């Protein structure tokens, strides 16, 4: 039912042009370079959104004139069955996925010639094979139409997001309980994946960040080999995926279970910025306004603890906040971790430090699902050049910051549904300092 509703939503956008076909190509199996090693297959998100088909080498077409949905399957031989498993007949595919018709891929040319569409709308990656058949293919509209459809989540989609979040929440708790000096990042990554796999979630929505010490200031850290050390922070940014729908959660915790004074000061700054911006995640507000609110809270907190100097307006105007908070506040969440829809047609990026990496710039509407993830980092690559910049160093306590180059970073991320009556938070992992410390140091139940 969910997928038929998605197809209707898309059909409605093309009702003025009835003489057209919407053509989609599904994903294929990826292999490691020039070998026969196959990576686990994960369906292309637009195709999954419309069909629910989670098998490789498929395609689909939707006839705007008749409303008919045709699933296009590969014609496989017995050798495929020997190596890869059971061969399904067209009738079995029809029962399994519910298309109106099923045809083989080698019948597509004949099928299109019978229909004689005026135009075939396709995403750019799928256009080549249709053009080779001699049909007029338009690739400029379907991507925007799909983004429009996927941006507002149905309640069926939200149930999938909630299922992913529930497992990711528990996996985060598992890791938070296991973090200790002398554990390794890769051990904690394995523990997280064990929890998701035990719940049947074999795909991860992204590789995850399991970063300790200075690595927690690397925004997309991928090393995983470091031993955690007493007195450091550990940053865990990881999620789960259910029926293609993602959870994306971040927590930062003290390796020894107790925040020291500096860690506590900076952690509370990030937490305040997150709590304030979550409250602002309501219809009618914009992501960039939330981002600037978070940035202002962060730079104000840094001034209060003496790491930066000057008026808040001046620190904002000179983009001092971006030295410590260089990424966007959040992004859309759905079938992709960084989901589509963040930049509607004609919307441009803000060319300003700290804002140019925003993954979404639009007014919130009910049914959108976003992340809120402010951060505060000591990044040598950003701070060290600023120490010799006359316009910036006057606002920095260079002496203290120079001694903090191994500090790392803090990020807190929750998954939020925009609702008419206020934000709905899908994330319930311990988040306040007291809750984190109590959870990490309490005896297992």
Chain segment 7-43, per-residue pLDDT in tens:
999 999 997 767 899 999 999 999 999 999 999 999 9
pLDDT at position 365:
98
Q: Are residues 177 and 317 in the same domain?
A: yes
Structural domain containing residue 372: 152-441
* Residues of the chain with confidence (pLDDT) below 70: 17, 444-445
Residue 391 in tokens: 């316009």
> CATH no. for residue 127?
3.40.350.10
Q: Angle, nearest 10°, between helix axes 185-198 and 155-178?
A: 140
Q: Are residues 177 and 286 in the same domain?
A: yes
Q: Are residues 136 and 223 in the same domain?
A: no
pLDDT at position 78:
86
Residue 290 in tokens: 């939330």
- Domain end (from 131, 150, 169): 150
Over residues 244-270, the pLDDT tens digits come to 999 999 999 999 999 999 999 999 999
Residue 250 in tokens: 């971040």
The span from the CA of 52 to the CA of 3, in Å, is 6
Task: Please state whether the predicted TM-score (pTM) of the whole model is above 0.85.
Answer: yes
pLDDT at position 76:
92
Distance of CA 391 to the CA centre of its chain: 36
Q: Are residues 135 and 233 in the same domain?
A: no
Q: Are residues 143 and 230 in the same domain?
A: no
Q: Are residues 230 and 304 in the same domain?
A: yes
Q: Are residues 92 and 186 in the same domain?
A: no
Q: Nearest CA to 60 among 38, 35, 43? A: 43
The span from the CA of 113 to the CA of 61, in Å, is 14
Q: Are residues 106 and 184 in the same domain?
A: no
- Domain end (from 126, 150, 174): 150
CA angle 353, 333, 25 (to 5 degrees): 110
- Domain end (from 150, 179, 200): 150
> CATH no. for residue 204?
3.90.230.10
Is-contact 299 443, C-beta < 8 A?
Answer: no
Q: Are residues 202 and 120 in the same domain?
A: no
The number of distinct structural domains making up the chain is 2
pLDDT at position 1:
82
Q: Are residues 319 and 351 in the same domain?
A: yes
Residue 414's CB: how many other CB atoms inside 10 A? Answer: 25
Tell which phi-psi region holds residue 32, choosing left (phi > 0), alpha (psi between -120 and 50) or beta: beta
Q: Are residues 189 and 272 in the same domain?
A: yes
pLDDT at position 5:
97
pLDDT at position 217:
98
> What residues are annotated to the active site?
34, 220, 237, 248, 327, 331, 338, 373, 377, 411, 413
Q: Are residues 301 and 163 in the same domain?
A: yes
């Amino acid at each position: 039912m969910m997928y038929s509703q998605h197809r209707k939503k898309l059909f409605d956008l093309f009702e003025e042009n009835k003489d057209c076909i919407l053509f989609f190509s599904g994903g294929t199996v990826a292999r490691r370079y020039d070998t026969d090693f196959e990576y686990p297959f994960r369906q292309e998100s637009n195709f999954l959104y419309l069909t629910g088909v989670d098998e490789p080498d498929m395609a689909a077409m939707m006839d705007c004139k008749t409303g008919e949905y045709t699933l296009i399957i590969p014609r496989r031989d017995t050798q495929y069955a020997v190596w890869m498993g059971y061969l399904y007949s067209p009738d079995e595919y029809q029962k399994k996925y519910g298309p109106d018709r099923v045809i083989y891929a080698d019948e597509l040319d004949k099928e299109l010639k019978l229909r004689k569409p005026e135009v075939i709308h396709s995403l750019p990656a799928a256009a080549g094979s249709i053009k080779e058949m001699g049909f007029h293919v338009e690739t400029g509209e379907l991507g925007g139409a799909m983004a429009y459809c996927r941006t507002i989540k149905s309640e069926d989609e939200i149930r999938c997001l909630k299922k992913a979040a529930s497992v990711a929440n528990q996996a985060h708790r598992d890791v938070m309980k296991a973090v200790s000096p002398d554990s390794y990042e890769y051990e904690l990554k394995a523990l997280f994946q064990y929890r998701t796999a035990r719940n049947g979630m074999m795909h991860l929505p992204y590789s995850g960040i399991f970063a300790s010490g200075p690595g927690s200031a690397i925004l997309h850290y991928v090393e995983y080999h470091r031993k955690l050390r007493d007195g450091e922070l550990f940053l865990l940014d990881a999620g789960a995926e259910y029926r293609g729908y993602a959870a994306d959660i971040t927590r930062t915790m003290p390796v020894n279970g107790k925040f020291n004074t500096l860690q506590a000061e900076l952690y509370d700054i990030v937490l305040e910025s997150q709590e304030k911006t979550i409250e602002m995640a309501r219809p009618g507000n914009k992501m960039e306004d939330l981002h600037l609110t978070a940035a202002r809270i962060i730079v104000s907190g840094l001034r209060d603890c003496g790491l930066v100097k000057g008026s808040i307006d001046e620190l904002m105007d000179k983009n001092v906040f971006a030295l410590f908070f260089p990424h966007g506040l959040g992004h859309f969440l759905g079938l992709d971790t960084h989901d589509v829809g963040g930049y509607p047609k004609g919307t441009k990026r803000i060319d300003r430090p700290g804002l140019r990496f925003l993954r979404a710039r639009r007014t919130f509407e009910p049914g959108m699902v976003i992340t809120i993830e402010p951060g505060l980092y000591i990044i040598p690559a950003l701070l060290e050049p600023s120490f010799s910049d006359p316009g910036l160093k006057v606002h920095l306590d260079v002496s203290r910051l120079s001694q903090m180059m191994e500090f790392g970073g803090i990020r807190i991320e929750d998954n939020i549904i925009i609702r008419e009556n206020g934000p709905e938070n899908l994330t319930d992992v311990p988040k306040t300092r007291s809750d984190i410390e109590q959870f990490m140091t309490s005896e297992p139940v």
